[in-house]
Structure 1
C-alpha cells in the first residue's frame, strides 16, 4: 500500500507541474514517467497476477492494475472522446466535410504506412509499429495497444514524442511560415451540473458499450464500446450538456499511464532508446506529409493555407486551438477537422493496424 501511495503522490505532483506547461493529457504522461521510474528502480507497487495465465509478479507483462479498474478508466476516456463529437462543433465543417474526411483518411494511411516502416525494425513488432505512429488520440492508442497485444510502453513513448514535437513546432511554423501568433489558450472546465449529467452518461455508456462491444468482438471494448455509445448520444443530442468530470478524467489518465509505466524494465528502456531515432525520423516525415495534405485541403476547400495546416496537424489539439484563436483563423473549421481526425483514427486505426501487421507478418 505504501508504494501505491508514493506512486499516487508523485503522479499528482508531476501532473500539476505538467499542466502548468499546458501538456496534453498531463496525468497520463505523468503516470507513465513516474511509474516507469519506480519500476526501473525497484520501488513499483506489486503487480497483480493474471488469472488466466501463469504470469508471475516478475513478469512485466502481468497486469499491474485490476481488470475492472482498467475497464472503468478506458470507459471514462472513451466517453470523454465521444463527447467531443458535438454537432455544433462538427457543423463548422459545413460543405467541406467530405474533403476533410478524405484528407483524414489520407493522414491515417500515411500514419499506418510510417508505422509499417517502423515495424520493420528488429526491436518492433508490426502491430506496435503500426499503432505507434497513428496521428491522433495518443491516450486511446496506448489503451488499444495492450488490448490488441502490442507493446504499450513503446507506443506510449513514441506517441508522446509525436505530441511533444507537434506541440512545439506549431508556434514556430505559425510564426515563421505564416507570420501568425500562437499564444496558449485556456479550455473552460465543465460546470458542476454538466459533470453531474456526465456521471449518468458514463454509467449508461460503460454499462452498455462494454458488454455490447465484447459481444460483437470489438477491439478494446472498454474504450471503443463506450466511445461509440457516447458519440451516438452526442450526435443525436441525447447527451445534452453532459461532460466528463475533470477529476475522473485525470484519474483515468493516471491509471492508463500507470499500466504502461509499471511494465518498464532497463532492457525495455534500452530497446526503446534504440528505436527512437528511427521513430523521430518517421514522425518528422509524417508531419511533412500532413502539411502537404493541408495544402491539398486548402486547394480543395478554399480555406486559408494556415487554417488547413492547423486542421491537418497530426496531434496537439489544444495547441492547434490556441494557434487558430490567436491568429483569428476559422476556429470552427479547424477544431471540427481535428475532432473528426481523432475519432477517425481511434475507430479505424485498430483495424488498419491489424491488417498492416498481418500483411507484414506474412
Structure 2
C-alpha cells in the first residue's frame, strides 16, 4: 500500500481547525442558499463547502458511523413524507415505471460501453461509474467486481453533485414566486415518545440493512420500514428540524470531502468524457421527464425529480422540500435502484467482455 501523500494547503492545519473551517463555510453557504430560496440548501451548502475543503488539501473525513446514521435519518424523513399510495402508485404505473427504468439503465450502459470502447476507462469501472443507482451502493458493488473504486466513486459523486445542483435549481425555478415559504422552526416542541420510536426504527432498520448486506440498505430498510409503519398508523414519525439539518450536513460532507486533489489527478485524463457522459444522461432523463409530463399527465417537477439519475438520498431531500408527489418520486427512484442491483453485475461483465476489458472475479 503506497504511503499517504504529504499534506498540503488546508491539510497542514490541525483537524480541529479543518472541521471548524468546514463548519463555518457550511453555515455561510447554507444561509446564502436558504436566503435564495433554493430547495435542499442544508444539503447543498455543506456539500459544496466540503468539496472546497477537500480540493484544497483537507484531510478530515466524516466517520463512517455518522454517515450511516445520516442515511438512516434521511430514510425515516422520506418515509414520513410519503402517504400510503407508494405501492398503489407503482402498481398503477408499473408498465410506465419499467419502461423508464430500463431506458435509463440502457442509456447508462451505453454510456459506460462507449467510455470503455474508446479506452477511456476499463469496462467494469465504466459501467459501475455510469450506473444511475445509489452512489454508495454502486461503489460497494464495483469493488466486489474488480473495478477501480476511486474512479467509480469519483464518477458517482460527481454525478450526484451535478444532479443535486441541477435538481435544486429546477425546483427553485418551478416554485410559485407568490407562494410563501414556511419558516423553519428549529427547536419546536416534539413528542418524545414518537421521537424515541422513530429513532428506534431507524436504528433497528439500519442494523438490519447492514447485517443483511443490502446495497444502500442503511437508507432503504429504515425507509421501507418507516413507510409501512407510518402509512398503517403504527408510527408517527417525529424528527426535529435541527436533527434533520445535521443529517443533511453529514451527507453533504461525506460527498464533498471525497473530492480530493489525488482523486482529481487520478481522473484528470477522463474528466471531460465523464462530464459529457453525465450531461448526456441528465439530458436523456430530462427527455423522459418531458414524456411523462406530456403523455402521462405527471407534473413537470415531479417527473424531473423522479427521473433524475441519482443519488436517491439527495433527490429524496429535494423532493421532500418541494411541492411534488413524493410517493411517485421515491417509487420510481427505488424501482430503478432495485433493477440496477439485480442486473448490474451481469451488465458489468457483458460490457467488459464486449469492450475487450478485463475484470477481477470477486
Task: Report TM bin, short chain.
Answer: 0.5 to 0.7
RMSD of aligned alpha carbons: 4.2
8 Å Cα contact 2:51/2:256 also seen in 1: yes
SS at match of 2:93: helix
8 Å Cα contact 1:27/1:250 also seen in 2: yes
Q: How does 1:286-325 map to 2 (within 5 A)?
A: 286-294=281-289, 297=292, 301=296, 303=297, 310=304, 313-314=307-308
Residues 182, 345 of structure 1: CA spacing in aligned structure 2 closer, same or farther, 3 A cutoff?
farther
Shift of 1:274: 4.9
Give the TM-score normalised by structure 2: 0.68
Shift of 1:279: 3.8
8 Å Cα contact 2:131/2:138 also seen in 1: no
Q: In the alignment, what sits opposite 1:50?
A: none
User: Which one of 45, 49, 54 corresponds to residue 34 of structure 1?
Assistant: 49
Q: Distance in 2 between matches of 1:358 and 1:39?
A: 33
Shift of 1:125: 6.8
* Number of residue-to-residue matches in the alignment: 320
Comparing 270-279 with 198-207, which one deviates more in the overlay?
Answer: 270-279
Q: Distance in 1 between matches of 2:234 and 2:48?
A: 38
SS at match of 1:83: helix
Shift of 1:101: 2.6
Q: How does 1:29-108 map to 2 (within 5 A)?
A: 29-45=44-60, 64-87=61-84, 93=89, 96-108=92-104
User: Which one of 198, 201, 220 corresponds to residue 204 of structure 1?
Assistant: 201
User: Which one of 92, 112, 115 corresponds to residue 116 of structure 1?
Assistant: 112
Q: In the alignment, what sits opposite 1:262?
A: 257
Q: In the alignment, what sits opposite 1:126?
A: 124
User: Which one of 241, 246, 255 corresponds to residue 241 of structure 2?
Assistant: 246
Q: Is 1:230 equivalent to 2:206 in the alignment?
A: no
Q: Distance in 1 between matches of 2:90 and 2:337?
A: 23
Shift of 1:339: 2.9
8 Å Cα contact 1:31/1:254 also seen in 2: yes
8 Å Cα contact 1:82/1:234 also seen in 2: yes
Q: Distance in 1 between matches of 2:195 and 2:63?
A: 24
In structure 1, stretches of 5+ residues that fail to align are 46-63, 136-140, 175-180, 326-330
